[in-house]
């Protein structure tokens, strides 16, 4: 395990209102100190890599790195800790939830310093959340399109989420709508797979 603690564990760091703050529950591998595990999460989810490369000198890694700024023991759990990590906003594309989550959790769940890892909490600064455009219109437009007022709109996700042919998927949607639902939605895993091309 690379010694990330030297540069990515910064207990003196004072978080900024513009930082994205993440709380990870970490279970380090035997022999890995919790500070090293937290620092490894901060590194791997920001500017760190498994080795030093010459291009590190072409930018200010200190400006862009995630920082594990606090570690606390999870009471009643053996060898579990909460690692608090601060990320500067410059690491993230404005208006992209996908980019934010890919950066924070997309590359950290399977590396050697950790036995287990879970994202417990996330604080997104107001300045960043304002970059998300949200839906193009509100609930009133949806109600007008559906001609449904004075009650909740009811919907479901088609199951099984994967494996239905286009014909059977359409049949499931039809039966849901015929049965009284207002809408159906695709599961996140549905794309254009061989069993059902778009």
Three-state SS for 176?
Answer: helix
In a domain, 190, yes or no: no
What does pLDDT average to over the chain?
Answer: 90
Report CA torsion sign: 26, 62, 121, 83: positive
Determine the distance from the C-alpha atom of residue 158 to the mean position of all C-alpha atoms in its chain, rounded to a whole number: 24
| 121 shares its domain with 160 | no
If asked whether residues 99 and 16 sit together in one domain, one would say: yes
In a domain, 193, yes or no: no
Chain position carrying tokens 């208006």: 95
In a domain, 167, yes or no: yes
Residue 196 is assigned to a structural domain of this protein: no
Residue 53 lies inside a defined structural domain of this protein: yes
In this structure, is residue 192 part of a structural domain?
no
Tokens coding 62: 């200190």
Q: How confident is the model at residue 13 (pLDDT cuts 50, 70, 90)?
A: very high
Residue 197 lies in a domain: no
Domain count, the chain: 2
Judgement on whether residues 100 and 147 belong to the same structural domain of the protein: no
111 and 180, same domain (yes or no): no
pLDDT exceeds cutoff 90 at 81: yes
Question: Quick one: CA torsion of 22, 48, 71, 31, rounded to 10 degrees?
Answer: 140
Look at residue 186 and give its three-state secondary structure. coil
Q: Which helix (H) or strand (E) holds 24?
A: strand 20-28
> The tokens 């930018």 sit on which residue?
59
- Whole-model pTM? 0.72
* pLDDT, tens digit (0-9, with 9 covering 90-100), for 92-145: 999 999 899 988 988 787 778 899 999 999 999 999 999 998 878 889 999 999
In a 10 Å sphere around its CB, with 0-12 CB exposed, 13-18 middle and 19+ buried, how is residue 65 labelled?
A: buried
Range of the domain at 179: 139-185
Whether residue 21 is found in the same domain as residue 50: yes
Q: Tokens representing 67?
A: 């920082």
Among residues 89, 91, 128, which one has the least CA distance to residue 107? 91
The answer on 158 and 85 residing in a single domain is no
Residues 6+ apart with CB under 8 A from 40: 1, 2, 4, 8, 48, 108, 111, 113, 114
| HSE-CB for 36 with a 13 A CA cutoff | 14
């Amino acid at each position: 395990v690379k010694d990330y603690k030297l540069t990515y564990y910064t207990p003196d760091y004072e978080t900024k209102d513009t930082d994205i703050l993440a709380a990870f529950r970490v279970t380090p591998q035997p022999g890995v100190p919790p500070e090293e595990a937290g620092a490894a999460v901060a590194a791997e989810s920001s500017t760190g890599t498994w080795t030093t490369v010459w291009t590190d000198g072409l930018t200010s890694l200190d400006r862009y790195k995630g920082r594990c700024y606090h570690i606390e023991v999870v009471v009643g759990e053996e060898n579990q800790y909460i690692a608090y990590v601060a990320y500067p906003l410059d690491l993230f594309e404005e208006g992209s939830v996908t980019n934010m989550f890919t950066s924070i959790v997309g590359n950290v769940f399977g590396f050697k310093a950790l036995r287990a890892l879970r994202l417990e909490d996330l604080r997104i600064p107001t300045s960043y959340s304002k970059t998300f455009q949200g839906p193009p219109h509100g609930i009133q437009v949806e109600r007008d399109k559906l001609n449904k007022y004075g009650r909740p709109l009811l919907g479901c996700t088609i199951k099984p989420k994967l494996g239905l042919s286009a014909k059977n998927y359409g049949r499931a949607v039809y039966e849901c709508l015929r049965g009284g639902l207002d809408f159906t939605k695709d599961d996140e895993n549905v794309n254009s797979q061989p069993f059902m091309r778009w």
